Amino acid sequence: MDTQSHNLRNAVLLLAHGSPDSVEQVPEFLLRVTGGRPLPAQVVEEVKRRYERVGCFPLTYHTLRQAELLAQRLGIPVYAAMRNWHPFVADTLAGMNADGIMHATVICLAPQNSRTSVGLYRSSLRRANGNMTFDFVESWHDQPSLIQAFAEKLKSGMERAAQEYGKNPPIIFTAHSVPERTILEGDPYEDQTKHTAELVAAALSLDRSAWRFAFQSQGISVGTWLGPTVEQTILELKESGQTGVLIQPIGFLCDHIEVLYDIDIAFKEFAEARGMRLWRAESLNESPLLTSALAEIVKSRAAVPAH
């Protein structure tokens, strides 16, 4: 088999959560997130309100752009699919089959493994699969270039905050919360998210007293969700005499509702109402180091021709 034929038969598939393209699509999107289970009307309206306040829907754009950048880096086809919105996994796999793809390295754009995220991505892939084989990457929370990418953004955020604040504010690393029962059942997510934070802090030689870890975006389902919350942590910092805080969400790779609303609007307003300033490190979005991390994962899993 020549190199060109080899390239056409092997590919990469990036999987992401998905996001509606407009406020009007929020109700349908939420039904897909819940597997068809209707949510209370007030919950749907609240989510619509949040999307209205954000005013943009960049998750799909950044995901597709990262796929383009990775394809340029590797020299093989890279596809992107969303679990809960367009382009759907089934549709993307149909296109891959039509293109003659026989095998794909699959990377979830959620570096830390949880059955509530990565596990659901795997299930959606299994349901929609055609004739391809897959090498499914379970987690990549400690990938060196990923850590460098987060550290680069954090360093810039610290410099910006210090210029405005006069000193380095304490840092809160965040990741999306999950139900506590998930962790009690053996899910590695909590350990992996905290490990990512530790590695990013170590990359910048941060003293342990300079940062904390909190879980954000707790859900409304019955049962206790993993904490501490960001709000609790902000209050603790205020009680210790702090008047500013810098947040870096290391559980998310690009701008979307949990970053643009939960952090940039809700947490910022929460902090300001208590006399505190809040900054956020930029998301990775189209970071070249993120592209490097993804490329290194693919190359470590399969033979990829030099490009």
Q: Report pLDDT digits (tens) over 6-58.
A: 455 899 999 999 999 999 999 999 999 999 999 999 999 999 999 999 999 99
Work out the mean pLDDT of the chain and round it to a whole number.
Answer: 93
Residue 8 has a pLDDT of 55
Task: Give the span between the Cα atoms of 245 and 171, in whole angstroms.
Answer: 6
The two tokens of residue 127 are: 């349901």
According to DSSP, residue 264 is labeled I
CATH 3.40.50.1400: which residues of the chain? 3-140+287-301, 144-280
According to the CATH classification, is domain 3-140+287-301 in 1.10.287.130? no
DSSP 261: T
Say whether the peptide bond before residue 20 is cis (omega within 30 degrees of 0).
Answer: no
pTM of the model: 0.94
Q: Identify how many contiguous H helices and E strands the chain contains and give both numbers.
A: 13, 8
**What are the angstrom distances between the C-alpha of 57 and each of 134, 217, 260?**
30, 18, 10
- What is the fold, at CATH topology level, of the domain defined by 144-280? Rossmann fold (3.40.50)
Q: Output the CA angle 133-137-143, nearest 5 degrees.
A: 150
* Residue 3: pLDDT band with limits 50, 70, 90: very low
In the predicted structure, residue 127 carries a pLDDT above the cut 90: no
Which DSSP helix (H) or strand (E) runs through 125? helix 118-128
Is residue 257 very low, low, confident or very high in pLDDT (cuts 50, 70, 90)? Answer: very high
Identify the band that residue 124 occupies on the pLDDT scale cut at 50, 70 and 90.
confident
Question: What does the alpha-carbon distance between residue 163 and residue 279 come to, in Å, rounded to a whole number?
Answer: 12
